[in-house]
Amino acid sequence: MSERTLVLLKPDCIERRLVGRVIARLEDKGLNIIAMKMIRVTPELARRHYAEHLNKPFYPGLESFITRSPIVAMIVEGPEAVAVVRNLVGVTNGLEAAAGTIRGDFSSSQQMNLVHASDSPESALREMDIFFSQAELCPYAPAVKPWLGTHEERPAR
Ligand code: CMP
């Protein structure tokens, strides 16, 4: 089923000039970027986005990290996009992430893991709403659609 998910390219991704390479991986997979902007995360925005981590011991460090340089926020669309993007990104700790994933190939850190991707369709809805208004979404028909799957696999919805 076609889904949308939130992807954030974190400050380390911008600082290390990896934005283009990470975006290329999403595009190569056949995903559609339907919204994108560079912003600076405020402490208030960080607390809203990472509400479930507010009481974790690592939260103060996470807030300093996510607010220290700009981020690139995106909404990515495609078949089963939430799970597909999570698989492309890899597990949280870059040291443990599988080779071939974004974190596995570019990160050696649990905190500075380059990318945030929503962990469920419910989180995706909540997080997309935090970073984007409906007016900022630019959906379009991807030229690669015939190569994303057959009609039997992906009935029109
Ligand atoms: P993300 O997928 O954005 O979700 C929460 C973020 O908190 C995570 O990526 C990391 O950047 C950070 N994080 C998670 N666990 C730890 C930890 N144990 N120590 C430091 N940062 C962490």
Nearest CA residue ID for atom 8, ligand 1: 111
Which DSSP category does 91 fall into? -
Q: What are the sequence ranges of the domains in the chain? A: 3-134
Q: What does pTM read for this prediction?
A: 0.95
Q: Is 53 a catalytic residue?
A: no
**What is the C-alpha R_g of the chain?**
15
Interatomic CA distance for residues 99 and 96, integer angstroms: 9
pLDDT of residue 155: 63
H or E stretch covering 59: helix 59-67
Q: Residue 146's pLDDT is what? A: 85
pLDDT in tens, the chain (157 residues): 799 999 999 999 999 999 999 999 999 999 999 999 999 999 999 999 999 999 999 999 999 999 999 999 999 999 999 999 999 999 999 999 999 999 999 999 999 999 999 999 999 999 999 999 999 999 998 888 888 888 788 765 5
Given the structure tokens 């380059």, which residue do they identify?
114
From the CB of 103, is ligand 1 less than 6 Å away? no
Distance 57 CA to ligand 1 centre (A): 11
For residues 81-98, one letter each, b for 16 or more C-beta atoms within 10 angstroms of the residue's C-beta and e for the rest, the string is: bbebbbebbbbeebeebe
Q: What does the DSSP 8-state code read for residue 25?
A: H
Residue 15 near ligand 1, beta carbon < 6 Å: no
pLDDT number for residue 117: 98
- Give the residue whose CA is nearest to atom 20 of ligand 1: 111
Q: What is the CATH number of domain 3-134?
A: 3.30.70.141
pLDDT attached to residue 157: 53
Note the pLDDT tens digit of each residue in 15-28.
999 999 999 999 99
Alpha-carbon span 116 to 19, nearest angstrom: 13
Residues pairing with 35 in the sheet: 75
Give the mutation target among 49, 111, 119 for probing the ligand 1 site: most ligand atoms within 8 A of CB. 111
Q: Is 87 in the pocket of ligand 1 (CB under 6 A)?
A: no
Residue 68 Cα to ligand 1 midpoint, Å, equals: 15
Q: What are phi and psi of 154, to 5 degrees?
A: -130, 75
Cα-based angle 132, 48, 39 (whole degrees, multiple of 5) = 45
Ligand 1 pocket test: pick from 7, 13, 113 the residue with the most ligand atoms within 8 Å of its Cβ. 113
pLDDT value at residue 43: 98
Using DSSP, state whether 4 is helix, strand or coil.
strand
Taking the C-alpha atoms of residue 58 and residue 55, their distance in angstroms, rounded to an integer, is 8
pLDDT at residue 86, rounded to an integer: 98
pLDDT for residue 150: 83
Residue type, 33: I
